[in-house]
């Protein structure tokens, strides 16, 4: 397009040259889309530092509106999802705290639809990316739809919704080459994070094993924000929501996650689908942390700060009900893709707080659905439809489905008898909590939000030694992918405030020195007129040094339900040995698959034909939780001569899984067989998680343990 020039007739007038097709922000001021220079791009406009975000904040609305409409029709974030139907059953009444109808009567069942998702990747990306997982639950209650829209991590990267578009732009593939997909290991993400110390707590979670779950059925869920519960007497308490999986919280190894992505990028989606189809219904208990209003300011952190948790040692989680997923969607697009969640879908008895990230979400979600689903009538799509009757004066619009009768579409009216009527609170009418607001409108952040490091330290200190090693490895991998040295250096500086040994080990892996006096003035993250010294991050000394709930080492390890066990067999397998382990495993709820050098059938030592489930061509150890080798000298010898079988065992060992064998099967364990097999370093029977007795109880116990991370002390295990 040709450049436009001014038409001024003054002979020496300066020409204004515009090229609307290009924009170079180098050396320029930040502006709105109307060219208005922005003074504060860090904070939304609030009624006081800890007050509600104001609708008049046109800069926030413009920024988020543009962000919400950036992708059509795929979700901008949480694009890759899996979902299921089910129900929530209440254990005990919460009538003391809330008038929400579905939380009143023990035994009451409420239908739900749950969508799990990765955040950064596109619809076609892998399930096993290192990423936050969305955990969104739609309750179809008798009082209307209630959405609890959270993640598998209880905190978030940022404190104010003003920064959400910046965060997502940073973590998405870089705009000049659309690389990398579904990954945070690149310069733009870590550039942003290194300038946003408030992200450090979330970074500890994201670099931990929580970001690579074994299964969607084996991860926790959190509401993230602090909400309110309100009872019949209009008394309010604060609440944090938790989903606790009954199978425990388990992960895969990072090396394993990368290999699964190559073998089966639909691993989590397939796992959820197959579990439900097989009748092994996923279950979570809903837990609440209830905090009286009078205790709002008693903690060493701010309840409204979405980068903070309330440690369970300070406020125990009270388990009030169970959610069971028992039906897969009939149509992926109609249900999983078209479902529309919104933290503003409430029922009487549940309300918001002034958490500035939550406040921004309340605007953003509706706006996003308008872009993605194309109509203000997205609530009429079957998966989004309320089971409670819907009566209002909204009419027409794109894709309208409801056929409204009568001539009245306004209120108040007399021609329609005044219908539909407003409902009193006693009749179930929703009324917002009457929180007192008396503040100046201001773009600012409460100083109680400035502690950026203490809970990051709490999380790291609470991890087991293997989990700490995994965080160090993850940070080293991610920052090792960063090309800009200054970004790596800034991140090492921030890590010194979390834990000096953590910073030292990451720095050593990156070939950097740890700075002695790091500067934490966030000069690039303050308003234009702000004093950088006033925005210096803080670190509060916490009275709590560790929290057991933060380590997956303390999760449930008493069940092998839905675990997948690979049996390696060949012609000549001992059928009795096979059955002696297979039968009790399946009786305990595990799934056994027979893996052989070829498909079809093999002949047992007793001469019977045994159908094969997979061959080594399609099977891989990373797709199973444990490995077992039944007896049969001829079978074991054939497996010894099969490189894929030897690799299967070595890789399972490297990823710290339970390995079992019986009689002749011991020969397949590297270290027991002659020659090259010794290199796998399984040095002796009885090594952690290696069961050579053929005893079913011992092997089941080993599988239930999930992993034997102590093996990672041998850092050079070939596979």
Residues with a catalytic annotation lie at 78, 151
Neighbouring CB atoms inside 10 A of 259's CB total 20
CA distance 148 to 616: 43
Q: Residue for token digits 């343990």?
A: 705
Return all residues near 269 (Cβ < 8 A) that are at least 6 apart.
82, 127
Separation between Cα atoms, residue 48 and residue 439, nearest integer Å: 5
**Stretch (H or E) spanning 190:** helix 187-194
- The CB density around residue 324, as the number of other CB atoms within 10 Å, is 17
Is 710 within 8 Å of 466 (Cβ atoms)?
Answer: yes
Task: Give the 3-state secondary structure of residue 601.
Answer: strand
Distance CA 24, CA 36 (A): 17
Which of 420, 381, 428 lies closest to 401 in space, CA to CA?
A: 381
Q: How far is CA 113 from the centre of its chain?
A: 17
How far, in Å, CA of 305 to CA of 447, rounded?
A: 11
CB 116 within 8 A of CB 135: yes
Measured CA to CA, the distance from residue 401 to residue 36 in angstroms comes to 41
Instruction: Say if strands 221-222 and 601-603 run parallel, antiparallel, or are unpaired.
Output: unpaired
DSSP state of 253: -
Q: What does the DSSP assignment read for 625-677?
A: SEEEE---HHHHHHHHT-HHHHHHHHHHHHTT-EEEE-GGGGGGSTTTSSGGG
Take residue 169 and report the two structure tokens written for it.
Answer: 């732009």
Is the separation of the CB atoms in 320 and 94 below 8 Å?
Answer: yes
Q: Are strands 144-151 and 133-141 parallel, antiparallel or unpaired?
A: antiparallel
């Amino acid at each position: 397009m040709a450049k436009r020039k001014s038409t001024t007739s003054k002979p020496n007038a300066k020409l204004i040259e515009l090229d609307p097709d290009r924009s170079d922000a180098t050396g320029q001021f930040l502006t709105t889309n109307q060219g208005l220079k922005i003074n504060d791009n860090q904070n939304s406009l609030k009624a006081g530092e800890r007050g509600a975000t104001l609708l008049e904040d046109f800069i926030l609305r413009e920024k988020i509106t543009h962000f919400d409409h950036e992708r059509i029709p795929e979700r901008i974030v949480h694009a890759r999802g899996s979902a299921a139907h089910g129900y929530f059953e209440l254990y005990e009444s919460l009538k003391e705290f809330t008038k929400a109808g579905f939380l009143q009567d023990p035994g009451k069942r409420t239908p739900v639809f749950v969508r799990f998702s990765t955040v950064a990747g596109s619809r076609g990306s892998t399930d096993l990316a290192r990423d936050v997982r969305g955990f969104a639950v739609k309750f179809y209650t008798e009082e209307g739809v209630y959405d609890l829209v959270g993640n598998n991590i209880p905190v978030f990267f940022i404190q104010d919704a003003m920064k959400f578009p910046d965060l997502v732009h940073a973590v998405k593939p870089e705009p000049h080459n659309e690389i990398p997909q579904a990954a945070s290991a690149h310069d733009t993400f870590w550039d942003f994070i290194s300038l946003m110390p408030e992200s450090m707590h979330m970074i500890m979670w994201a670099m931990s094993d929580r970001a690579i779950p074994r299964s969607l059925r084996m991860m926790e869920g959190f509401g993230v924000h602090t909400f309110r519960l309100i009872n019949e007497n209009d008394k309010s308490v604060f609440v944090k929501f938790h989903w606790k999986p009954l199978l425990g919280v388990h992960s895969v190894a990072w090396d394993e996650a990368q290999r699964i992505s190559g073998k089966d990028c639909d691993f989590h989606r397939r796992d959820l689908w197959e579990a439900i189809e097989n009748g092994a219904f996923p279950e979570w208990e809903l837990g609440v942390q209830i905090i009286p209003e009078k205790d709002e300011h008693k903690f060493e952190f701010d309840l409204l700060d979405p980068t903070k948790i309330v440690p369970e040692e300070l406020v125990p989680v009270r388990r009030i009900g169970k959610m069971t997923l028992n039906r897969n969607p009939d149509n992926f697009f109609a249900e999983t893709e078209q479902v529309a969640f919104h933290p503003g879908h409430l029922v009487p008895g549940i309300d918001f707080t002034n958490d500035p990230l939550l406040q921004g979400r309340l605007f953003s979600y509706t706006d996003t659905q308008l872009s993605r689903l194309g109509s203000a009538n997205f609530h009429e799509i079957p998966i989004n439809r309320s089971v409670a009757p819907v009566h209002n004066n909204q009419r027409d619009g794109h894709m309208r489905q409801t056929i409204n009768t009568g001539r009245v579409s306004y209120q108040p009216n007399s021609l329609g008898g005044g219908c539909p009527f407003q409902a009193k609170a006693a009749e179930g009418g929703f009324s917002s909590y009457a929180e007192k607001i008396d503040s100046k409108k201001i773009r600012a952040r409460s100083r109680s939000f400035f502690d950026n490091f203490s809970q990051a330290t709490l999380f790291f200190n609470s991890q087991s030694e293997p989990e700490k090693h995994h965080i160090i490895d993850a940070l080293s991998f991610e920052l090792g992918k960063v090309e800009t040295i200054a970004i790596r250096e800034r991140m090492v500086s921030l890590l010194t405030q979390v834990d000096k040994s953590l910073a030292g080990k990451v720095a050593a892996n990156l070939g950097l020195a740890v700075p002695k006096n790091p500067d934490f003035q966030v000069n690039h993250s303050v308003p234009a007129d702000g004093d950088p010294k006033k925005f210096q991050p803080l670190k509060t000394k916490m009275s709590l040094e560790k929290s057991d709930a933060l380590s997956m080492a303390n999760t449930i390890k008493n069940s092998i339900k839905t675990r997948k066990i690979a049996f390696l067999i060949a012609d000549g397998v001992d059928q009795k040995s096979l059955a002696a382990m297979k039968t009790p495993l399946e009786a305990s709820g595990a799934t056994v698959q027979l893996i052989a050098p070829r498909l079809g059938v093999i002949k047992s030592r007793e001469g019977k034909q045994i159908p094969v489930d997979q061959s080594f061509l399609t099977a891989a150890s990373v797709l199973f939780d444990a490995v077992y080798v039944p007896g049969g000298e001829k079978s074991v010898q054939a497996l010894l001569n099969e490189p894929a079988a030897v690799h299967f065992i070595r890789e399972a060992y490297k990823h710290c899984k339970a390995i079992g064998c019986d009689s002749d099967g011991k020969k397949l364990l590297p270290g027991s067989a002659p020659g090259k097999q010794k290199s796998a370093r399984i040095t002796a029977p009885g090594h952690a998680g290696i069961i050579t007795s053929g005893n079913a109880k011992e092997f089941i116990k080993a599988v239930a343990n999930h992993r034997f991370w102590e093996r990672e002390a041998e850092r050079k295990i070939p596979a």
